[in-house]
Structure 1
Amino acid sequence: MREQILTIPRATVDGLIGDSRTQLLPMTEERFVEAVKGQISYRYRDEVEGDTTIKQLIAYVVVRSEGQIFGMRRLKKQTEARLHNRLSIGVGGHINTEDLAGDELTVIRHGLLRELHEEVWIPEGLPMRLLGFINDNTTEVGQVHTGICYLIDVEGHDCRVRETEKMEGVWMTPDELYAHYEELETWSQIALDAIAK
């Protein structure tokens, strides 16, 4: 069955972001709902994969515990070849029709939690805080995707990778992540810069 994913017109994202090609636009959940109201729609993934007029919305969550951030290195068995061997501090993926559940914010949160629990073992019911939109028009991946970035704090480093054949997990301080900054995916660089301020 063809997958339908949540999308937003690139012009809408560009209108929010302005001239900046790479950034995290801080946003409250209320402002997010206002910004995307009537703008998001489900489309067939195979039809929008190379369409730079459409941005695929990606639920992207950073997990933090006791001053450290959970990082994952994507191994060669992970499906997105453009991200192999890159270090990421974001967990998540596409929001699809499985996530249909109420208003825009409920759909985003449902997709985020589904993707989060598919990729990592983490306690249920943790509070989430929206950081904002991640945008990066400098890469092939970034030209057709935009991230909705959340932060979750866990106690006792209670988060680990589920699919160990696709990813390996590690806890690192912001300073340690900055020492590996060039290995970080662009979105992870953007999120780290926002969190470490």
Structure 2
Amino acid sequence: MNAAPHQPVLLTESILVVKQDTLFKEFPAWHGISLDALHPLLTAIVQHQESLPRHLAEKDASYKQIISYMIFTFDSKIFVMQRKNKLNEQNLANKLSVGIGGHMTQEDIQGETLFDWISREFEEEVSYEGNLAMHTLGFLNDDSNEVGKKHIGLVVLLKGDNGNITIKGDEHKSGQLMSMEECFDTFEQFESWSQLILKALVE
């Protein structure tokens, strides 16, 4: 994984993408989180992956950029981050997010298990010393806005055994553990993907 999906300083990097008509050939596009889409889309990504410079991918809606999106929980609380105001997609500036991770590369998925991908992504983004239990929620697709139309997220819930977690990367300016009640009290401040996930977690 190389930087979260909205960090402008790395627009020249090559990222993992798949043509939309190929990605959704066996499993048609949907809105929200789908666990049923997990295996069909993982298969399509492995078989039809391409590497594209990020600045080109951001301009080409025929591709979906593959994003890792991890949610850390401990003691019924969720780790919530606030994005910096200097972002490539200004509609995400200062938004709250529950998603740890970002763009993936072809190198990220070579010869490794899903847990290996996620563990490496997690360690690049945050500092945390403890055990993790992983639960895959599925793929998140949201074509309701311009950012979502070009991205698709692999959503994984990570349950920790302690709350000692801090931000390591540059994209976010703060992070804290929040209860579900606190999250819904500030619901309108969350980016759209995080809103979809928060709703799914209480269903």
Scaled by the length of structure 2, the TM-score of the pair is: 0.81
Match of 2:15 among 5, 9, 12: 5
Query: Contact conserved, 1:60 with 1:93, CA < 8 A, in 2?
Result: yes
Q: Deviations over 1:56-87 (max 9, x none)?
A: 00011000001111100112245654421100
CA contact (8 A) 1:57 1:94 kept: yes
1: distance between equivalents of 2:171 and 2:200? 30
Structure 1 residue 41 and structure 2 residue 47: aligned? no
> 1:73 aligns to what?
82
Give the structure 2 partner of residue 85 of structure 1.
94
Cα deviation for residue 166 of structure 1 reads 3.6
Give the AA of the match of 1:47: L
1:130 pairs with 2:140: no
2:195 matches 1:189: yes
Contact 1:132 1:150 in 2 (8 A): yes
Separation of aligned partners in 2, 1:75 and 1:55? 24
Which of 45, 49, 52 in structure 1 is aligned with 2:61? 52
> In the TM superposition, what is the alpha-carbon distance from 1:89 to its structure 2 partner?
0.5
Distance 1:13 1:30, change over 3 A: closer
Q: How many residues align?
A: 193
Q: Is 1:121–1:159's contact at 8 Å kept on the other side of the alignment?
A: yes
Equivalent-residue separation in structure 1 for 2:121 and 2:172 (angstroms): 15
CA contact (8 A) 2:125 2:169 kept: yes
* 1:108-161 deviation per Cα after TM superposition (whole angstroms, max 9, x unaligned): 655533332222112366232211111111112111111011010011212121
Root-mean-square deviation (CA, aligned residues, Å) is 2.7
Query: 1:96-118 CA deviation, whole Å, 9 max, x = no partner?
Result: 24425316xx3x65553333222
**Counterpart AA for 2:121:** E
Give unpaired runs (5+ residues) of structure 1: none
Q: Which of 77-86 and 59-68 deviates more?
A: 77-86
Q: 1:175 Cα shift? A: 1.9
Q: Does 1:96 align with 2:119?
A: no
**1:51 CA displacement:** 0.9
- 2:158 is equivalent to residue 142 of structure 1: no
